[in-house]
Chain A
Amino acid sequence: MAKIKIQKKDIWIDMTPMSDVMTLLLCFFMLTSTFLTPEPIQVTTPSSVSEMKIPESDVLNILVSPEGRIYVGTENKNNMQAMLDAVTDKFGITLTGTQIKHFREDAMIGAPLSKMAEYLSLEPEKMAEAVQKLGIPTDSIDGGKSEFQEWVKAARDANPDIKLCIKCDATTPYKTIKAMMNELQDMNENRYQLITNLKTASEE
């Protein structure tokens, strides 16, 4: 009896070209993209035709949410630490080791000083949630500087070359921005970089 013999074929696929393409793609992504910086809230910046680049270093980011909550932060962790020390010293707040550790891990400052210790005691996962309902108050304290001004001043003291980058949501009412800029103008901080997206030709 003749048996039908199925020939076993070698099903080897050459992966080399695929690997080539992958390497190219990977190189492209690694070279052209920048890492997303974690921000307490997501904002959509308006577009403009300005082609100026944001400075790479010495930047104090001021983030304004559509509801008018203000967050400040800088990339340099040592400056952040110096800012925290300066402000907590002034207001007589003492933080524990874990709280300071949490502060250093946080991307931006966004808690009022009265709730700072409480906020920094939370678990890191809960912090990200809580910060969305907080924000630095801009009301002046006993007729003096506001907390927001104190933080900006501390940042300026920590790094005299710091540049202010303002990142607002496109829908933020001008009222909020006016109040914030007024505070900065009162401190003689008159130069800002407004962060925008590049407008493409089709939007023109």
Chain B
Amino acid sequence: MAKKNLSKQKKMDTRVNFTPMVDMMMLLITFFMLCTTLAKPQAMQLTMPSNDENVEKEDKSVTKASHTITLYLGADNKIWYIAGLPNYEDPSCVKETTYGAKGIRDVLIKHTTEEGINPVARIMKAKKELDAKKSAYGSTMTDKQYQDKLSELKKGVVNGQKIPTLTVIIRPLDTATYENMIAALDEMLICSIDKYVIDKIGPEDKALIEKAGVK
């Protein structure tokens, strides 16, 4: 009997207690959740015109009246626009609209130039086709090719044909917020408008918008 007991190997319990490990994991997760952020902020490239007066005179390019839209960003998330060049005598050329797809984007898309075309609508359509081609199954288009095509498109070359592009002048009033400015720049990005500038409000503009009730 005693001999039998000796020969029998004692079965060891091989279960490891994981509780301390779980405790530590919990702590680490709490630490990571509190001290880090998941949202990766995005950047938006903005190039402002130079204040250097010598440069400005040489590079001043003139666009046709019907190729221009001026936006005035005012207080309380309001936005006004002038299609074409501002007529400083007639305040009724300043029209009010709203931010977003139904307001300003619609104005930009529906804007018709003197040639009788809607440049923004055509460029946006071409961009959609380009995007579809890029994401199509078995597409061999590289990012570089896509970017080249896109910048060509933004310059107004649609299907090998040159169409005039729209120039947008954004004039935020002092009462506008940073969010309004970003919203306006966003529309430029959505509408694939390449030529836009953030400009100051001159005395003529000031007189005009005051008459039109922009504030």
Contacts and interface: CB of A to CB of B under 8 A. Distances in A.
Contact of A15 (B17, B43, B190): B17
Interface residues of B, number: 49
Interface string A144-187: 00000000000000000000010111111111011001101110
A23 B25 contact: yes
A35 B176 CA distance: 32
A165 B18 CA distance: 46
Q: Is the interface of B mostly helix, strand, loop or mixed?
A: mixed
A22 B25 contact: yes
B139 interface: no
B177 interface: yes
B42 A172 contact: no
A72 to B, nearest CB: 17
Given A34-B36, A191-B47, A16 B18 contact: yes
Contacts of A174: 73, 172-178, 180-181
A190 interface: yes
Contacts of A16: 18
B12 interface: no
Nearest to A32: B38
Interface stretch (A94-102, A110-118, A196-204): A196-204
A132 interface: no
B172 to A, nearest CB: 4
Given A26-B32, A188-B51, 16 more contacts: A12-B15, A15-B17, A19-B21, A26-B29, A29-B32, A33-B32, A46-B178, A48-B189, A50-B186, A55-B43, A171-B177, A173-B176, A192-B48, A194-B45, A194-B185, A197-B42
